Chains A and B, each alone.
Chain A
Amino acid sequence: MSVFIETNSESLFKHGEELCGDKVEIVRKGDVTTIVLADGLGSGVKANILSTLTSKIAATMLSEGADIYETVETVASTLPVCAERGLAYCTFTILRVNTDGKAHMVEFDNPQAIILRAGKEVPVEKKEITIGDKQVLESRFTMQEGDMCLAFSDGAIHAGVGQTLNFGWQRDNIVEYACRAYRKDMPARAMTKLMLSACNSLYDGRPGDDTTFVTTRIRHAQPAFIMVGPPVDPSRDKELVERFLKADGIKVVCGGTTSQIVSRVSGRDLRVKIDYKDTGVPPTGIIEGIDLVTEGVVTLAKAYEIMKIYMSEESEMEELFDIFKQDGASRLARLLLEDCTSAHFTVGRAANPAHQNPDLPIDLSLKLRMVKDIAKILRQMGKEVEVEYC
């Protein structure tokens, strides 16, 4: 199957701490994605060092071909010993999943990860094995398209202890909540953000422990082809448009002149969609067979702003509610962030005569920079991005 392993992680810092004692490393190599969530003993600098070492060692070893058992042994023997407690301790969850959906998970003292399928928890058989002096839980299972794996640190199950909840947010409660919140097309980012928001709310905004969630979701691969700007050489119009139209995936055209070229070459009408609300973003167009037709630079800049807010760890949940509106920029941002799994930009470098006005702060370099910035965000998300200049 042609799938994409979508991952996302985020942490809540313990109230008053500047460093997080949880660390997540995600390494993609070939068709295998390795996710390591490590939670260091205590909090602050020490915990941060422990978890960083653990996650880095584990992720590097695993991605370089070492097996999980060897990795765990190495981690155990290399961690520095805490002077106060005399312990070298860091709990972790390691998940390796390939594009066939085969998953191998090892958990050491972290709350057990949750596997969700169609809004229900999938029970996974786990066996306890001893590696070195550590008792770890090992499981092998197959993930299907739409499945989600939620791994989290113990900060989540301590959420609200003695504050809003007597015994904290027990794993069963987390499972129930995750099942209720699950939606078929829910991006990994949305699930992570939601779970953390719930923990933060249960902690009453003052987390008593570092809390981290990593969401891994198996989804159908959906490439996006984005055509931005006309090519320098007009004789390539036909070739580029035909290739664009033949591509299998989401198709987006950004720019007025570019849309006219696509319309002319394809022989399909270009119509302007009426915006009932003034959103400050130029209206979108409609070309049959094209998923989205937008204006160029202004829309790209606005879409980039939205993508930055969406990805920012500082963004509050409230900011994300209405981030996607019905205007062109919001639709483009959503398409790139949530709908596609890889992106191919065809960026035309022809100068736009409309941008020659010295009063307008728009030039070709701005457009190119926008595309680069957007590509950077997509790569951060683990999506493959190609930028082709013409």
Chain B
Amino acid sequence: MVIRTLVLKLHRPTAAKRLLLDQAIMRYNRALSYLFEHTQDNMETVLKEMQGGRAHLTRRIMGLLKKELMDKLNVFGVQPFKDALKMDYAMMMVAWLSLRRTQRKARYPQVLDEELFERRFWETIREFDDGMIGRDGLKARVNRLYNGYGISKPLFFGRYAKNRDYCLLYDEEHDRFYAKLYLLNVKAPERRGGIARGSCRLRYVTADRALLEEDNRRERYIVAPLSFGKEQEAVLKEGLQNPGIFKTARLLRKNGAYYLSVNIACECRQKERSETYMGIVRSLKEAVRYAVVDRKGIPVAEGGLPYGEKITTKNGMHAAANELVRVAQEYKSHIVSYRMGNIGDKLTYGAERARLTAGTFNQLMAMVNYKAELKGLKKPVFVSPRGIFTTCPRCGTNTQRNRFPGGRMICVKCGCAGDIEKNGPLNAARRLLKYRGTTLLFYAKKTEAGLLIHNDVLRLAYLAEPTQEGIKGFFKFVEEKVREMKRQQDRLCGGTAREVSYRKRFMNIQSARDEISIVDEE
């Protein structure tokens, strides 16, 4: 599923509505600031969650925000946004934690409102006066404060619903769309009732297409007309048929105007089965290089996108991503690439540097990722960049010693020589085939009772007779276990990422004798 963002402008909100919108954004930011402020000194629990390495980190961090803490946020009047605040906080925290893995000094997220800014500012001055920080430190801290000040986070709506957060309304007669935004809590004095809607008959953009309630109750929400272009209109009309596509949204203020940025889920049916693999990697001479191989790993095509200043711009990047997806479509390819993160591709070698920075490459690949899906291609796979340029395409040996100046690779095991500009994308394209070719390891240990063959990650153990017949029995046991695991697939969830990955591989075993290796433990 691909998530697209649809930006809709709130059409000329009245002064009263603008005031409500501004206040809501301000209250939201203050509450968020409070949350970050509060947890900054109690990071142990959050870090422990991260180090646990289990999946759904965002959800687990949300769980750390206890009711008592959330109740304290009531003073900011953010009752309608509490769930959204939790989610927003957790998402920012996850982003920060993953950044911290590569940059130990990554700055803790901050949302500076006026009050916090002032407090921090005077704290800094005091530290300088006490000699705790020097002139440079003061300058850096004040700069950082000013950079962060005045930047408000968009107000997040965590769900699309009729009676909370936000939803869209449709005026059939005039063919107009409206946004219904819940901004106030029950006790807010700004609530108004009996608002005249003229001749409009607004219907919810939901499955029941119900009419918007018209009574004199004081409302916690505002209704604002939306303005948009033709492309957005087409998506909104699609939403009339399938309201399930509307997901979360963000309300932001930019240059005095208000925008609702709605996340739209695009279900992309995969049109065709992929026939080839296309590896995309960074390059020393070009922006990126690609190689297409068939299902046996034989090269079919190769090429690259020229580097230019344009490619680092948003439009240039879209154009590059479109071109890559076009090539993938032409060869009916399954795209294989990598993300630069904790582990890099180690393309930089002495003075030889990759043309695209890690960040730009990641952005480009993120675009390729969703564009490929939108075009009906199989979801791109991101593999580990480890050894992508130093792995020998002939014998598979991966060592940094294979890399030589001038963008050359000469394998120290088999002598295969080549250009890393060609080998890199080829290795990426063949990665999935390589993964398929690796065997699962089981360890054999002699015990008094017999030969114990086991894999601790899979939590499987088999006591065999120390004879060839015993080994045959083990392989039969494996086949039976594979069948059993397949039957229980739904119940087998959870565990570490390694366990999940091992289980998947085990369940996909076709021939136990070929895909399992037994090695002596001692």
Contacts and interface: CB of A to CB of B under 8 A. Distances in A.
Nearest to B475: A276
What is the interface of chain A mostly: helix, strand, loop, or mixed? helix
A198 interface: yes
B238 interface: no
B415 A274 contact: no
A275 B517 CA distance: 11
Interface string A143-187: 000000000000000001000110000000100110011000000
Interface string A246-289: 00000000000000000000000000001111100001000000
B395 A274 contact: no
Interface stretch (A16-24, A189-197, A228-236, A328-336): A189-197
Contacts of A299: none
Contact of A200 (B413, B415, B468, B517): B415
A199 B517 CA distance: 35
Given A201-B418, A318-B394, A318-B395, A274 B412 contact: no
A195 B415 contact: yes
B468 A164 contact: no
A173 B404 contact: yes
A275 B417 contact: no
A176 B404 contact: yes
Contacts of A274: 444, 451, 466-468, 470-471
A180 B417 contact: no
A309 interface: no
Contacts of A180: 401, 412
A321 B412 contact: no
A307 B87 CA distance: 66
Contacts of B519: 276
Nearest to A182: B412
A177 B414 contact: no
A283 to B, nearest CB: 8
B414 A317 contact: yes
A202 interface: yes
A164 B404 contact: no
A321 B417 contact: no
A193 B412 CA distance: 11
A276 B415 contact: no
Interface residues of A, number: 27
Contact of A164 (B414, B417, B444): B417
B518 interface: yes
A196 B466 CA distance: 45
B275 interface: no
Contacts of B272: none
What is the interface of chain B mostly: helix, strand, loop, or mixed? mixed
Contacts, number: 70
Nearest to A199: B415
B125 interface: no
Interface centre among B413, B466, B519 (most CB of A within 10 A): B413
B440 interface: no
B352 interface: no
Interface in A200-258: 200-202
A100 B116 CA distance: 81
Given A160-B417, A176-B404, A318-B394, A201 B444 contact: no
B281 to A, nearest CB: 20
B417 A194 contact: no
A164 B451 contact: no
Contacts of A199: 415
B468 A201 contact: no
Contact of A177 (B394, B412, B513): B412
Nearest to B412: A181
B416 interface: yes
A276 B414 contact: no
B410 interface: yes
Given A164-B417, A274-B471, A201 B451 contact: no
B414 to A, nearest CB: 5
B417 A196 contact: no
A196 B410 CA distance: 12
A275 B416 CA distance: 33
Nearest to B415: A197
B395 A321 contact: yes
B419 interface: yes
B518 A197 contact: no
Interface centre among B395, B470, B519 (most CB of A within 10 A): B395
Contact of B404 (A177, A194, A197, A277): A177
A180 B401 CA distance: 6
Interface centre among A180, A193, A199 (most CB of B within 10 A): A180
A201 B395 contact: no
Interface string B488-499: 000000000000
Interface centre among A173, A181, A200, A318 (most CB of B within 10 A): A181
Nearest to A190: B413
B518 A201 contact: no
A155 to B, nearest CB: 15
Interface in A278-315: 278, 283
A202 B468 contact: no
Interface in B389-423: 394-395, 401, 404, 406, 408, 410-419
16 contacts: A164-B418, A181-B413, A197-B415, A198-B410, A198-B417, A199-B415, A201-B410, A201-B416, A201-B417, A202-B410, A274-B444, A274-B451, A274-B467, A276-B518, A277-B517, A317-B415
The 5 closest A-B CB pairs, nearest first, are A197-B415, A198-B415, A201-B417, A276-B518, A181-B412
